[in-house]
Amino acid sequence: MPDWLVKILGTVYTRMPAGLRPFAKRVFVQGLLRLQALTSRRSLCKGMRIEFIDFEIADLEPFEFLGPRPVDVRVDAQFSTISPGTERAVLCGMPGARRPFPYTPGYSTAGVVTEAGAKSGFAIGDRVAGRMSHSSSGLLTPASMFRVPDGVDMLEASYIELGIICLQGIRKSGIRPGERVAVMGQGLIGQMATRLARLAGADPLIAVASSRRRASSAVGPGRADEFVSLADDPGALARIEADVVIEAVGSSLAIAQATTAARRGGRVILLGSSRDLGRNLDWHNIVQERDITLIGAHIGALPTYDASPGRWTYAQEGRLFLAQLASGLVHVADMTSWKAAPADCNRVYEVVAEGGREHVGIVFDWTR
C-alpha cells in the first residue's frame, strides 16, 4: 500500500470517534482481504487463533487468511508449542519486545496439509511442521516448512522451532566430548539445550536454575548429572568452573552469572534473548580479566544459505532436529508439562506472564 494512502487512512482513523474504530478496522481488514483474494485468485480461509489483545491478556479469536500460493500449503494444526521467553516478553511488553496489540503469538507448530499449492511438493494429508502461529489453521511457506518423518510424534514435531533455536546454539558452542558444561536456566530452552549438549558429548553436565521448582525434569537419564539451585546455594556458581556455559534465561543477571560459572578461558553461549537492562556490569572483571569468550547464538543470525561447520542454515537445523526425533536420539514429549486446549489460552498465558511457574513445555492441542 503506498505511503500516501496509509497516511490518509491513518488520518481518517485517528479522527474517527474511538468507539467506532474497532468496527471500522475490522471492516477495512476484511474488505482488503477480499480484494486481495479476488485480485490474486486465492481462496479465503477461516480459522481460530490465539491473540494477545493487551498486556497480559490472551484470547481465542476467529480470523481469515488467504489460501496458499502455488509454493505454500494450508495446514490444519495439531499441536503448537509456546516459546515461553519470547511470548512472555511480548505479552508483558518487556524491553526489546514491544509490539502493537492485538498480536498473534506462536511460531512452532505441527499439523496436516489440507491444501497444497501445485509447486509446493506436498500433498493433502502430509504431516508438516514449521513456523505457524498458534492457530487452528494457517499457511506454511517453503522457507519455514519441514516434512515430519514417519514415526515422529506430532506433539514432538511441534517443538521444531525451539529445537532449531537450541541446535544452533549447541553448534556455536563447539562442545567437545568430555567437556564440563553448565546450562543456566531450566525452562524449556534450558532443558532442551541440556539434552542436546549431552548428545554433543558434554560430560559432566550441570543444570543451574534460580530455584528447585524444575529440578525433577532437569535431572535424569540423558539429562543433567547435577542440579544447582542458586536459591539454596548462591555461592555455587564460582565452584562450577565449566568449560562451556550455556545461558538460557534471557537476562543480564544470568549472563553475568554464566560468566561466573565458566572457568578461566571458558566459553559462554548466549542462547537466551535478554529482556532487561544491565548497565552496571563489570565486564572487565567478569569477562576480560578471566579470558572468557562470549558467543552470541540467536536464531535471527542463522544463515539462509552458505552454511559452514559452525553455522548451519535454518533448514539444515530443522531437518536435523526432526531426524534426531525420528532416530530416538532426542525426546521432548516428556517435557510437555501442560497440554492445553486453545480455548484455555487466557489461563495459560496468565501462567506464562507469571514466569511459567513449574511448567516446562506448554503445548496447545488443536485436535481437541
Partner 1 sequence: MNHMRIAVIGAGGIAQRNAIEAVKSGAATVTGVFDVNLQAARDLAAKVQAKTYASFEEAIANSDVDAVMLSTPHHLHRPQTLAAAAAGKHVLVEKPIANTLDDANAMIDACEHAGVAMAVNYSFRYLPKIQKARELVQAGALGDITGIQVIQHQFKDLGYWMGARSTSPDDWRSSREKSGGGFLIMSVCHNVDYLYFITGLKGTRVYSEYATLGSPGNVEDIISVTSRWGDKAVGTISASSILRGADAAEERIWGTKGTLLINDKGLSLYSTRPIDGKKPGRVHHYAKFEESSWTADWIRAFVEAVRLGKRPEVSAQEGWENLAFIESAYRSMEVGAPISVPTYVR
Phi and psi at residue 169, to the nearest 5°? -70, -45
Q: Is 350 in the site for partner 1 (CB under 8 A)?
A: no
Interacting span for partner 1 (CB under 8 A) from 8-16, 64-72, 215-223, 270-278: 270-278
* Residue 279 binds partner 1 (CB under 8 A): yes
Which residue number, 95 or 121, has a Cβ lying nearer to partner 1? 95
Closer CB to partner 1, 158 or 274, in the complex: 274
Q: Which stretch binds partner 1 (CB under 8 A): 175-183, 275-283, 306-314, 338-346?
A: 275-283
According to the binding rule CB under 8 A, does residue 357 interact with partner 1? Answer: no
206/180 Cα distance (integer angstroms): 8
Of 75, 71, 66, 64, the C-alpha closest to 42 is: 66
Q: What is the DSSP letter of 244?
A: E
Q: Which amino acid is at 219?
A: V
Q: Which is nearer to partner 1, 94 or 307 (CB)?
A: 94
CB-based burial, 107-132: b 16+ in 10 Å, e otherwise:
bbbbbbbebbbeebebeeebbbbbbb
Residue nearer to partner 1 on the CB measure, 94 or 295 = 94
> From the CB of 255, what's the least distance to partner 1, in Å?
16
- Give the span between the Cα atoms of 184 and 206, in whole angstroms: 9
CB of residue 363 to partner 1, shortest distance in Å: 24
Alpha-carbon distance of 337 to 343, in angstroms, equals: 17
Pair 251, 189: CB distance under 8 Å: no
**Closer residue to partner 1 (CB): 86 or 194:** 86
Q: Of the candidates 233, 276, 282, 358, which one interacts with partner 1 according to CB under 8 A?
A: 276
Scanning residues 89 to 128, which ones bind partner 1 (CB under 8 A)? 92-98
Is residue 225 a contact residue for partner 1 (CB under 8 A)?
no
Smallest distance from the beta carbon of 109 to partner 1, in angstroms? Answer: 27
Out of 127, 223, 267, 275, point to the residue binding partner 1 (CB under 8 A).
275
Taking Cα atoms as reference points, which of 49, 92, 127, 33 lies closest to residue 343? Answer: 49
User: In 3-state terms, the chain is what percent helix, strand and coil (to 5)?
Assistant: 35, 25, 35
Between helices 345-353 and 84-92, what is the axis angle to 10°? 90
103 burial level (CB within 10 Å; 0-12, 13-18, 19+): middle
Shortest CB 354 distance to partner 1, Å: 11
**Cell numbers found for residue 329:** 536420539
Q: Binders of partner 1: how many residues, by CB under 8 A?
A: 13
Q: Which of 55, 220, 265, 296 binds partner 1 (CB under 8 A)?
A: 55
Closer Cβ to partner 1, 56 or 226, answer by number? 56
Task: Return d(Cα 360, Cα 368) in angstroms, integer.
Answer: 21
Which of residues 211 and 367 has its CB atom nearest to partner 1 in the complex? 211
Q: Binding residue for partner 1 (CB under 8 A) from 12, 277, 301, 323? A: 277
Q: Is residue 15 at the binding interface for partner 1, with CB under 8 A as the rule?
A: no
Which residue, 127 or 275, has its beta carbon nearer to partner 1?
275
Write out the residues near partner 1 by the rule CB under 8 A: 55-56, 92-98, 275-277, 279
